[in-house]
Amino acid sequence: MNISPEFVSFISPGLSGCPTLQKIDFSYNSMGDVAGSMFGKMLKCQADMREQHKWMASLRGTKKETGAIGLKEFHLKYNKLGE
């Protein structure tokens, strides 16, 4: 499979804001630097979402478990990043 920047831009909004997403494996996809940088932005959105949940829980005075929110694993082995 070859992941194009167009494909990443299509799926990125759904992946960026999904709090139940835990693992993504895009290994062996001939993904280049442009698609890779788009995934980097998606990862930042996931991290921001986790921090926002943590902040909201602190405002409410709850000890909501933020470790269960968002992406835990992201596999990109054997792509064309940095070539």
What does the pLDDT read at residue 23? Answer: 94
Spatial separation of the C-alpha atoms in residues 43 and 15, rounded to whole Å: 9
Domain ranges of the chain: 5-15+23-75
User: Could you tell me if 25 and 68 are in contact, meaning their C-beta atoms sit under 8 angstroms apart?
Assistant: no
Q: Which two tokens stand for residue 9?
A: 């831009």
pTM: 0.75
Spatial separation of the C-alpha atoms in residues 68 and 22, rounded to whole Å: 9
Task: Going residue by residue through the chain, which has 83 residues, state the pLDDT in tens, using 9 for 90 and above.
Answer: 678 888 888 999 999 989 899 999 999 988 889 988 898 899 999 999 988 888 888 887 776 666 678 888 999 898 888 87
